[in-house]
Structure 1
Amino acid sequence: MRQPTTVGDDDLAPDGAEAGDPAVIPEARGTGRRLRGAVAYHLGTAIVSGDHAPGDVLMSEADGSVALNVSRGVYREAIRTLVAKGLVASRPRTGTVVQPRHRWNLLDPDVLTWTFSGQPDMAVVRSLFELRVMVEPWAASMAAERRTRADIKAMRTALAAMARHGLDHVAGQAADCAFHDAILRATGNDYLAVLTTSIGTAVTMTTQFKQRSRALPRDPIPEHRRVLDAIVAGDGVAAAAAMHVLVDKALEDTRQAME
């Protein structure tokens, strides 16, 4: 089991802080929710990456707070965050134990973010895209039948922003997320709409992951435009087929990035 290291500015990066000297005392640079998020990120990424295996016992509140240079309250709240996401369980006399993977809330946006913070296992990536290919083509087909003018406007606005900013820019990535969100919402199915945050996070994180070591291998805008055109035309079969191609190509891009 890897021993935790001091939480420094790099661990606060998900909240937008600039990286700096890891020896800086966190309390001097952030408080409250920011620190709790940093500790949860630190421990969460260690768990999903396999540094802490199922069955491992994390440091106690007293030891963990000292090791990470945070207050006991901050460490306690971070552990509660991990418990809520299914990554760990707190047991009397045993301590905080890492749970088996099947107990994790894998679609939680934070868990997805932590998964792609390191080098995710290809089996995990494949499973995520298998879920997307089961959900999104069917959602595109339903959206083609049920979309409203407002839905179409939201998709067009998102696609225009993607083309304007590009997916190498945070604004373009946000627009990509909004495009997929708009399709799920256009289904009129509340249960599918619940997946918007999870699917959107998956789209954003895989896009960022693909660009770590090189530029995107291709322009994905044409695939998105074909999906939109089919939805606007009310052609559910074409919309589903276009979305299937979009997700398949995204998986291939991710696989190449991992290689």
Structure 2
Amino acid sequence: MSLREKVRPERRAAAVPTAPNDRRRLHGSIAHDLAVAIVGGRYRPGDVLPNEDLFSQQLSVSRTAYREAVRILAAKGLVESRPKTGTRICDRTRWNIIDPDVLAWHLEAAPSDGLIDALFELRRIVEPAAAGMAAERRTDDDLAAMLTALTLMERDGLSSERALQADLEFHHAILVATGNEPLTALSSGIGTTIRWTTTFKQRTGTLPRDPLAEHRQVFEAIQARDAAGARATMTALIDQALAATRDAFTKSRA
């Protein structure tokens, strides 16, 4: 497979980018395409990326843009650059898998059943516990944020972008309500998982019945300071989402 086949940038470099934003978009695009090629298996751990001169020539990008793209991937654990040995793909154990970008690249590159199960396993570990903590620690402001999200979900319908954003805000509000900053930091990775799996289900026409009732049950348990109930209802909500996602994958492959 040629380098051009492995990495297919959708946007090619202008000869001289005219503004900082242009340059950021360019090396971001290169990093995206390289990352999807890596997580999709077109490059494998231990492989050495083409040197910057060859890469720049074959893909019509500047060496500076390539270097910036490599820095992005290195910061997320996908590659490492060493003098004389070049840029090598790191072992998967070193990838920052819950980084929102890394997670989005995986999901774009047709994730395996194992990855989907692992992501839901992470949700099942984190979110029920967070819901229980939120029930014990939530404030009136936390409840107001959750209720606002639920109202938007109900108003806009399951398949709209605004409803999806409201769904993400609901789950984020629960993590915020724990008062645990390291736990809240997981919100972006969890949100990326929710967004992608919901979008995938929409594309395959396998959206389940409206899960608003289950979301309301979680909210009501948190509102009532029922920690055990909050954990149980959140677990049921996640299990429902996993079952629907598996159905979507089965349908897409059929």
Q: So what's the TM-score if we normalise by structure 2?
A: 0.90
Cα separation, partners in 2 of 1:105 and 1:167, compared to 1, 3 Å: farther
Match of 1:40 in 2: 31
Q: Contact between 2:206 and 2:244, CA under 8 Å: does it hold in 1? A: no
Q: Secondary structure, in 3 states, of the residue corresponding to 1:96? A: strand
Q: Secondary structure, in 3 states, of the residue corresponding to 1:90? A: strand
Match of 1:230 in 2: 221
Cα separation, partners in 2 of 1:67 and 1:209, compared to 1, 3 Å: farther
Match of 1:8 in 2: 10
Q: Secondary structure, in 3 states, of the residue corresponding to 1:131? A: helix
Match of 1:19 in 2: none
Shift of 1:165: 2.3
Note if 1:79 corresponds to 2:70: yes
Shift of 1:187: 0.5
Note if 1:145 corresponds to 2:147: no
- Which of 109, 114, 118 in structure 1 is aligned with 2:109? 118
Shift of 1:89: 0.9
Q: Give, as a single letter, the amino acid of the residue that structure 2 aligns with 1:186.
A: A
Shift of 1:75: 1.1
Matches within 5 A, 1:201-212: 201-212=192-203
Note if 1:54 corresponds to 2:54: no
Q: Secondary structure, in 3 states, of the residue corresponding to 2:204? A: coil
Q: Secondary structure, in 3 states, of the residue corresponding to 2:69? A: helix
- Which of 12, 27, 30 in structure 1 is aligned with 2:14? 27
Greater Cα offset, 68-77 or 100-109: 68-77
Cα separation, partners in 2 of 1:78 and 1:166, compared to 1, 3 Å: farther
Q: Contact between 1:48 and 1:114, CA under 8 Å: does it hold in 2? A: yes
Greater Cα offset, 157-166 or 31-40: 157-166
Considering fraction of residues, name the structure with more helix.
2
Q: Where does structure 1 lack aligned partners over 5 or more consecutive residues?
A: 10-24
Deviation sequence 1:146-173 (CA, Å, 0-9, x none) = 1001000101111111222234222222
Q: Give, as a single letter, the amino acid of the residue that structure 1 aligns with 2:211.
A: P
Note if 1:91 corresponds to 2:78: no
Match of 2:157 in 1: 166
Q: Contact between 2:134 and 2:222, CA under 8 Å: does it hold in 1? A: yes
Shift of 1:236: 0.7
Deviation sequence 1:117-158 (CA, Å, 0-9, x none) = 131011111111111101100100010111001000101111
- Which of 178, 199, 220 in structure 2 is aligned with 1:187? 178
Q: Contact between 2:8 and 2:33, CA under 8 Å: does it hold in 1? A: no
- Which of 94, 105, 108 in structure 2 is aligned with 1:103? 94
* Alpha-carbon distance in structure 1 between the residues aligned to 2:46 and 2:100: 24
Q: Secondary structure, in 3 states, of the residue corresponding to 1:173? A: helix
* Alpha-carbon distance in structure 2 between the residues aligned to 1:205 and 1:65: 32
* Alpha-carbon distance in structure 1 between the residues aligned to 2:112 and 2:190: 19
Q: Secondary structure, in 3 states, of the residue corresponding to 2:108? A: coil
Report how many residues are paired. Answer: 244
Shift of 1:215: 4.7
Q: CA RMSD in A?
A: 1.8
Cα separation, partners in 2 of 1:61 and 1:190, compared to 1, 3 Å: same
Cα separation, partners in 2 of 1:214 and 1:68, compared to 1, 3 Å: farther
Q: Give, as a single letter, the amino acid of the residue that structure 2 aligns with 1:27.
A: A
Shift of 1:2: 5.7
- Which of 154, 165, 171 in structure 1 is aligned with 2:145? 154
